[in-house]
Amino acid sequence: MARAASTKGQTRIQREKTEEILEAALEVFATYGFRGATIDQIALQSGLSKPNILYYFDGKEAIHAKLLSRLLTTWLEPLKHLGDSDNPVDEICAYVARKLAMSRDYPRESRLFANEIIQGAPRILTELKGQLKTLTDEKAALIQNWCDAGLIKPIDPYHLIFSIWATTQHYADFDVQVCAVLSDKADSRFDQAAAFLDNMYRATLTH
Amino acid sequence: MARAASTKGQTRIQREKTEEILEAALEVFATYGFRGATIDQIALQSGLSKPNILYYFDGKEAIHAKLLSRLLTTWLEPLKHLGDSDNPVDEICAYVARKLAMSRDYPRESRLFANEIIQGAPRILTELKGQLKTLTDEKAALIQNWCDAGLIKPIDPYHLIFSIWATTQHYADFDVQVCAVLSDKADSRFDQAAAFLDNMYRATLTH
DNA sequence: GTCTATACTGTGATAGAC
DNA sequence: GTCTATCACAGTATAGAC
């Protein structure tokens, strides 16, 4: 009965196993997408038996849903921190740096999200049109104010945000391709990317 | 016996059916990735029966392989056209525009590619390290020459190319998200993107 | 050359022993 | 609370009629 839907009233063992399952599931869902992932793979990855996994979660869908709901919070965090500042260029570049660091430190989360969106976001569309849109509207208005005040060059704030998402997440989602192209120079790819992106956004935003 | 592996010596009917299958398969693979896609879905989408599809192709893997091999050629085409010019900024911006147009006109191809890369590129890694790397090296060298000649601002040519791939393909791969955020302004998203990207890359490259 | 019927495997989920 | 055994079904693929 102690299903993992609620995080309260669990024993230590239960919490740990739930975490192990989610950790393994993240790996599998991020790699194969929802439909391509199997509980067998999650079982193998976590070292638990398949029925044991289904004891803790009400099926494949429930595991995926849990991962997605956690993800969205983490994912929007860097953008939430984009605040008012008398140096908007630094503020935006700091956001770019935070977002790139997330691609470096949480590539699986990035891929989980990418898989979901590419596949048409069937299980997260509501949140995109709600939480994500609201937050983006708010930050786009802030950027627009900076434009109007002449603090940065006039640009479309929405597409600026899109381009930041695209360029930073690229280093998580397309990591295999980046490494294939850079080959022996791939080790320092995140440092190179940080320098390049900082440079590009400064050029784009500074008068 | 007349398997679709070779395109030669086929009747008109055979070519047509092969095309119908590939068309349907593109839709399905682009949406669900290799593992998530099923021949049932391809059958439903194409209106052909499942055994009939397996008559024309040697299994699911063969259909996917055929799509990928076609894709790579189309996909590298815009970059191949990046040639020497006495106005490198225009030349690069023209490449950006071509690449964005491909996201608009061939979103399914973009998603097929994205799915493959996100999942670790198991069926295309060789081509990435071969064809793609060779071409990218060549064009990166060209861009580096422009930098050295002082025709554009000094930048890392590889990460410039990565950023172009990221920003343009984003409008195909993450279209659902872009539309969710832009809502009523989504209709002209490709025109807005074209203007924004042209502006950004000019700022990044022009002295 | 195309279809119906079917074999065989992988997958999600459950029952019941411990 | 966890495991073994197993079911029902979906999925790939093939055999053989037409």
Q: Is B132 on the interface with A (CB under 8 A)?
A: yes
C-alpha A11/C-alpha B200 separation (Å) is: 53
Q: What is the residue whose two structure tokens read 């002209």?
A: B188
C-alpha A78/C-alpha A94 separation (Å) is: 9
Mean pLDDT across the stretch B132-137? 98
pLDDT in the model for residue B121: 95
Which residue type does B46 have? S
Indicate whether A180 pLDDT > 50.
Answer: yes
Which of A177, A185, A191 is the best residue to mutate to test the B interface, defined by the most B CB atoms within 10 Å of its own CB?
Answer: A177
Identify the closest residue of chain A to B185 by CA–CA distance: A158
C-alpha B97/C-alpha B92 separation (Å) is: 9
Do residue A117 and residue B159 have CB atoms under 8 angstroms apart? Answer: no
Architecture of the domain whose range is B12-58: Orthogonal Bundle (1.10)
Contacts of A204 in chain B (CB under 8 A): 199-200, 203-204
pLDDT in tens, B40-80: 999 988 988 898 999 899 999 999 999 999 999 999 999 99
Which residue did the predictor score with more confidence, A1 or A180?
A180
Give B171→chain A minimum CA distance, Å.
9
CATH code of A68-205, in short, is 1.10.357.10
Residue B38 contacts strand D, CB under 7 A: yes
Mean pLDDT across the stretch A98-103? 98
Residue A17 contacts strand D, CB under 7 A: yes
C-alpha B65/C-alpha B93 separation (Å) is: 32
Distant-in-sequence, close-in-space partners of A25: CB < 8 Å, separation ≥ 6: A37, A42, A45, A46, A63, A64, A67
Do residue B203 and residue A121 have CB atoms under 8 angstroms apart? Answer: no
A68-205: same fold as A12-58? no
Domain spans of chain A? 12-58, 68-205
Distance from residue B51 (CA) to nucleotide C5 (C1'), in Å? 11
